[in-house]
Structure 1
Amino acid sequence: MTAPTDPAEITHWLTGHLAGLLEVTAAEIDPTVPLDALGITSMEEVMITAELEARFAVPVPVADMRRHPTVAALAAYIVRRAAEGTPDADGTAGSAEPSRDIDLPEATTAPRDRITSG
Structure 2
Amino acid sequence: MSTVDRATVTTWLIERVAFYVEREPADIDPTKHLAMYGMDSLYALGLAGDVEDEYGIDLDAAVVWDHPTIEAIAAYVEKTHPSAGVPD
Same fold (TM over 0.5): yes
Indicate the structure whose relative CO is greater, using CA pairs within 8 Å and at least 6 residues apart. Answer: 2
Q: What TM-score do the two structures reach when normalised by structure 2?
A: 0.85
Q: What TM-score do the two structures reach when normalised by structure 1?
A: 0.65
Query: What residue in structure 2 maps to residue 50 of structure 1?
Result: 49
TM-superposed CA distance for 1:67, in Å, is: 1.1
Where 1:33 maps in the other structure, the secondary structure is coil
Query: What residue in structure 1 maps to residue 20 of structure 2?
Result: 21
Computing the radius of gyration from Cα coordinates, the structure with the larger value is: 1
- Cα deviation per residue 1:9-42 (whole Å; 9 max; x = unaligned)? 1111110111122221111000001111111111
Residues 32-71 of structure 1 correspond to what in structure 2 (within 5 A)?
32-71=31-70
Stretches of structure 2 lacking an aligned partner (at least 5 in a row): none
Supply the AA of the counterpart residue of 1:9. Answer: T
Stretches of structure 1 lacking an aligned partner (at least 5 in a row): 85-118
Pick the structure with more helix per residue: 2
Q: Percent identity?
A: 30
Q: In 1, distance between residues paired with 2:20 and 2:65?
A: 18
Give the superposed CA RMSD.
Answer: 1.6
- Count of aligned positions: 83
